[in-house]
Every structure is written in structure tokens, then in C-alpha cells.
A and B are shown apart, each in its own frame.
Chain A
Amino acid sequence: MRVPMDYASVMARRGEIMRSSVGIDYDKFTTGRIAFDYERMMSETGYALDEVKRIQRESNVGDTPLIELKNLTRLVRHISEPGRGARIFVKDEANNPARSFKDRRASLSVHNALMKGYKGVVAATSGNYGAAVASQAARKNLSCIIVQEVFDSLGFEQPEIAEKGRACEAYGAEVLQLSVGPELFYIFLLVLEETGFFNASLYTPFSVAGIETLGTEIVEQSRTLTGRNPDAIVSTHAGGGITTGTARGAIKAGSPDTLIIGASVDLHGLHMASDRDFNRKSFTTGHTGFGFPFAVWPDRSDVPRNAARVLRYLDRYVTVTQGSVFYITEALAQLEGLERGPAGNTSLTAAFSLAQTMDEDAVLVVNETEYTGAGKHPYAQIAFAKKMGVEVFRGDPTEEKPGKNIIIPLRPEQIEAEDVDLDRLRESYVKNAGKSLGDEALMTAADIEFLCEDTRLSRKRAEELLSENGVSF
């Protein structure tokens, strides 16, 4: 009998396709209706830290430099109150083989695929992760297929994603380039089913375990360079992986008091599945279009249980504007001699603002850079934005309207990290948890305990919110 390949039939088979393509029986970690044993999942299916280090060393991944940005720090102090202006350091992750921190995730995913006997790997990604998976697969002689969302219905390709596609092809991958829409996932499932390849999801325990070394290296390098643990780490937040992995690594390195601050580019008002809006944003990741939904319901990902769960780790979450990130990307090149980004500089832009409120002896670490190149550069993005009818001008960045304009600040003191209310995100999480229960709105004691761990809500507050959402317990 022929298996039906239409959209609804394939989506209905997603559970079994996922199980065989990831090789994890997620059900065995279930402890309630929404609850599961996160730490047990991470330890039983992920890799221990020493093993991760060994695999990454063998893959030429990690051990990147931590660079002090002395001129940017001087600039921060120039515009801060006396005694303020933390030392800013950046982890230069562009020194990885495929030139972003994503190699850390890919090295573990591809290693796992090889160990489990898969003949190839598939990843659904329009970002740096595709190139990272393709690069690691090339070294390990595995086939690689990358599924990307690249162009709108008029045929215009987002320049940054087109560049990532080129990089994937340079490493020998097959690249499926799609127009705008969430049905990318349908194609992804079809490919997994047809090939029997490994699902190199960004959200497996392997992938997130691969980032923990980023956190441990930052803490160790900070101690060597400054004699202290980092006071804060700023981490660009989209799907949650880098923030979760960095925070877990910092804790494992014995620095549980380091503040973990997430940062996203503000893209409010743009719909992530809209054909029209697709090419009216100049950032393809690290933005609120992923950052908010993944924070308030991590399990929307391409695996049943997302290993990236940021509300467990975020102490603070801020947004910055597109124009401000372009400005800081230019500043990084001109003042520090580092041409990087732009998307990876989201956290640096936030750090530039946050450092102004911290003491001079404090250490503020930005946990990544990424490579830059044709298409993947502020110049290319600004030229493309203008072509798409987005206005670009110098002015007050607080007036930026995503999709309508990009405002490059006139002066550095105009760059501001805007706080996102984490409690509101926690409330949304509880609402989504309630919805996930379906008609039988009932939670067990294990569920409530899990909910509190996953959101850092107090038990009392969690119970209040559940009642407000009509969930009994």
C-alpha cells in the first residue's frame, strides 16, 4: 500500500517520523500531563561535559578566544556616570570551522548520528546552523540535506539566507530552498521519511549539551583574564539554545551567580509566516519573532521535548532595534577591527547599553560573534531593505517601526536595551500549558512542580495563574 504524502497525512505521522529520526524515546521521561524529567533527559540522552569537550576538540570546534573590547568599553565609559561602564568581552565564535557558535551544536548532533549508524543528517534551518551541520557532516562522511525558507512569492531571496544556502552547498549539502511558510516542516518530514536520515534538530539534548562548553569556556577565560567570574553574560535569544546551553555551562563551571541576560532584535508587528513581511525584516534570527514564542512555549519545536528552555535560566530579557545593531556592528569593525555579524551582534548591542549601568570593575561577556560576508552584512541588508521599500535614516532609534523603517542612531548614547517583562512571558507560558491540556483542564502535582521549575514561578503564583486559566489541580 502506498503511504499518502499529502500535507495532512504526513503531519499526522509526525510522531513516528520524529521518533525514528531522532532516536530518542521521549515518552520515557514523561512524569505528568505536561511534566517531564528535564535533567534526566539531558543526562541520559545528552553527553557529559568531558565527552562533549573531547568530541568538539576532535571536530576542531570551540576553544575560541575571549576578546576584551577596550575601545567599545572606553566609549561606554564616556557616556556613563562616573564609576560606571563594565569591561566588555566577546567570545569570538566566528573562529569555529563554519564560523559561528552553531558548530558546537552541530558537532554533537553529527557525532550522535554517526554513532547511531545513520547515513546522513537533515536540518530545517535558514541560519548558521545549516552551514555548521553541513561542515561537520562533510568531515564525518555523512550525507547532508538542509531545508531553508529563502524567498518570497515575488522570488526575492533574503540575502543573508541566500548566503547560508551557498555555504551549505560549498560543504557538499543538498539545499532545498523554499518560499515563505511554516509548511517547511512538512517538507522536512517528507525528507526524513524518504531518506531515513538523522534529524539534526537544534533542540535535542545533544544539540544543547554541545553549547554547555561555551558557558564553561567563558567562565574559565574570564577567571584567567580578569581574576573573577563574569558578572553577566548577554546572549542573543531566538529558539533558546545558546542561552540555555551557556547558562548550564556557567553553572557547571561553578559560576551560578553570573546574571544571564537574553537579547533579541525587536521585530514587533511583523508576522513570521507572512509572505509580505518576510523580506521587510533585516534580521533572520535572534529576533522577537522567535524569541517570544519559544520562551513562552518551548515545545513548539521540531522535537517533542525541547532541550532549550530559557525561562529556567533568564534573569533578564531585553530588546534592541535593528538600526542599533547595524550601528554597533559598524562600531565593532571600526573601533575594534572585528568585522562580524550582524545577527550575532544583537547581544553586543544590548551589552553596550547594559554596561553603562554596571560598575567599572564588572565583567560583562557577550557570548558569540558570527562570520560576515556577502549578503550577510549590514551593507547588503540595508541595500535590500531599501529595495523592499523600508526607509533607512539616521535618527532616534526608539521611533523605529519594524518593516517600515530602520533608524540608525545619531549618537551612541541613544542605544538602549529595552526590558521585556519576564513575568508576562511566564503568564503566557502558563496559559499555553493550560491550552495544551485540551478539554480535560486538569494538572497533577508533578505538573505544577514542573511548571514552577520551567518558569521560575512560585508555587503560589503558578496556582493563581492556573486558576485564572480555568485549570484545576
Chain B
Amino acid sequence: MQVQAHKGDWVQIYLVVLEAGSRAPQVPEDTAKVPLEMKVKGSLVEESAAVGDTVSVETAVGRRITGKLAAIDPPYDVGFGPPPVELRSVGAELRRILKQEVPLS
């Protein structure tokens, strides 16, 4: 993983918005125990920085936000995963049912 970013690089920063213990009164216990965290992407403002440094980014709409450098060129890595075995045969099962049927007029 790239650890050094330069001015203008597309990066993601991370910040804690509310510390654990300062959460809204209505949140359940498990949520109250952890901080409210935020991530946002933008172009690095500083000349250079390493992952973990406190930096500023200029976001897609031109706002400046400060946080810790979390990732450089962060990828979109959600995928489809494997076709689950629990669904794999559903299509064939339903087609078998329909084959026993006269088609709609």
C-alpha cells in the first residue's frame, strides 16, 4: 500500500466527530460505547503527507476538511461475491414448475 501522498492526490481522511461518552442520549448502549466516526475523500492540500498524518483535503464541492490521512487513491472494492449455494438452484426449480403448466392464453 502506498504510504506517502502528495499535493493534489485523491485521498480519504478519517476523523472522530463525537467521542465515546459524548454520544446522543438516545443511542443504545453498544453505540454509546464507541465514537461517531467520519470518512470523506478529497484532494490533498499539503505538499506531502504520510498515512496517519493530520491533513486537509479539498472535497468534490471545494470544502476544506481536516482529519487523519487514512488512504491514498482509495478503491471501490465492493463486489458481488460468489453466487450463494442457497440461491443457485432457484431458477431451475421454478422453471421445472412452469414446464408442468399450460402457458397463459
Residues of A at the B interface (CB closer than 8 Å) are 7, 70-71, 73-75, 77-78, 120, 143-145, 150-151, 153, 157, 159, 162-163, 166, 169, 172-183, 186-187, 194-195, 271, 273-276, 326-327, 330-331, 333-335, 374-375, 377-380, 382-384, 392-394, 408, 411-412
Contact B31 A382 (CB under 8 A): no
- For A176, what are the chain B residues with a Cβ–Cβ distance below 8 Å? 38-40
Known: A74-B98, A178-B17, A408-B90. A273 touches B27 (CB 8 A): yes
Contact B61 A173 (CB under 8 A): yes
Number of cross-chain contacts by CB at 8 Å:
160
Known: A273-B26, A331-B91. A382 touches B86 (CB 8 A): yes
Of the candidate stretches B1-9, B48-56, B75-83, the one touching chain A is B75-83
In the complex, the chain B residue whose C-beta lies closest to that of A392 is: B86
**B26-84 interface (Cβ within 8 A of A):** 26-28, 30-31, 33-42, 59-63, 76, 78-84
Contact B31 A393 (CB under 8 A): no
- For B79, what are the chain A residues with a Cβ–Cβ distance below 8 Å? 374-375, 380
In the complex, the chain B residue whose C-beta lies closest to that of A150 is: B39
- Give the interface SS of chain B, mostly helix, strand, loop or mixed: loop
Contact A379 B80 (CB under 8 A): yes
Contact B78 A374 (CB under 8 A): yes
Q: Most chain-A CB neighbours within 10 Å: which of B18, B37, B93?
A: B37
Contact B17 A382 (CB under 8 A): no
Contact B80 A377 (CB under 8 A): yes
Known: A169-B60, A195-B63, A377-B80. A179 touches B34 (CB 8 A): yes
Residues of B at the A interface (CB closer than 8 Å) are 17-18, 22-24, 26-28, 30-31, 33-42, 59-63, 76, 78-84, 86-87, 90-91, 93-95, 97-98, 100-101, 103-104
Interchain CA distance A271-B84 in the complex, whole Å:
27
- For B34, what are the chain A residues with a Cβ–Cβ distance below 8 Å? 153, 179, 275
Known: A273-B26, A335-B94. A187 touches B38 (CB 8 A): yes
* Min C-beta distance of A12 to chain B, whole Å: 13
Known: A78-B101, A180-B31. A379 touches B26 (CB 8 A): no
Contact A166 B76 (CB under 8 A): yes
- For A78, what are the chain B residues with a Cβ–Cβ distance below 8 Å? 97-98, 100-101
- For A379, what are the chain B residues with a Cβ–Cβ distance below 8 Å? 80-84, 87
Contact A334 B91 (CB under 8 A): yes
Q: State which of B41, B82, B84, B104 has its C-beta within 8 Å of the C-beta of A175.
A: B41
- For B94, what are the chain A residues with a Cβ–Cβ distance below 8 Å? 75, 331, 334-335, 412
Contact B18 A183 (CB under 8 A): yes
* Min C-beta distance of A303 to chain B, whole Å: 19
- For B100, what are the chain A residues with a Cβ–Cβ distance below 8 Å? 78
* Min C-beta distance of B8 to chain A, whole Å: 17
Q: State which of A75, A333, A392, A411 has its C-beta within 8 Å of the C-beta of B98.
A: A75
Q: State which of A75, A177, A179, A195 has its C-beta within 8 Å of the C-beta of B40.
A: A177
Interchain CA distance A175-B42 in the complex, whole Å:
10
Known: A179-B34, A274-B30, A384-B81. A174 touches B40 (CB 8 A): yes
* Min C-beta distance of A375 to chain B, whole Å: 3
In the complex, the chain A residue whose C-beta lies closest to that of B60 is: A174
Known: A330-B90, A379-B83, A408-B90. A73 touches B31 (CB 8 A): no
* Min C-beta distance of A399 to chain B, whole Å: 15
Known: A144-B61, A182-B27. A378 touches B97 (CB 8 A): no
- For A178, what are the chain B residues with a Cβ–Cβ distance below 8 Å? 17, 36-38
In the complex, the chain A residue whose C-beta lies closest to that of B20 is: A153
- For A411, what are the chain B residues with a Cβ–Cβ distance below 8 Å? 93
Interchain CA distance A334-B83 in the complex, whole Å:
13
Contact A70 B78 (CB under 8 A): no
Interchain CA distance A374-B81 in the complex, whole Å:
9
Contact A326 B91 (CB under 8 A): no
Q: Which 6 pairs of residues, A with B, have the shortest CB-CB distance? A: A334-B91, A383-B81, A375-B78, A153-B34, A143-B61, A174-B59
* Min C-beta distance of B85 to chain A, whole Å: 9
* Min C-beta distance of A149 to chain B, whole Å: 10
Q: State which of B23, B76, B84, B104 has its C-beta within 8 Å of the C-beta of A183.
A: B23
Q: State which of B33, B60, B95 has its C-beta within 8 Å of the C-beta of A335.
A: B95
In the complex, the chain B residue whose C-beta lies closest to that of A137 is: B61
Contact A74 B101 (CB under 8 A): yes
Can you list 27 contacts pairing A with B, beta carbon distance less than 8 Å?
Answer: A7-B22, A7-B24, A71-B98, A73-B104, A78-B101, A120-B61, A143-B62, A145-B59, A151-B39, A159-B78, A181-B36, A183-B36, A186-B24, A274-B31, A275-B28, A326-B87, A333-B91, A334-B91, A335-B95, A375-B80, A379-B80, A379-B81, A382-B84, A382-B87, A383-B82, A392-B84, A408-B90
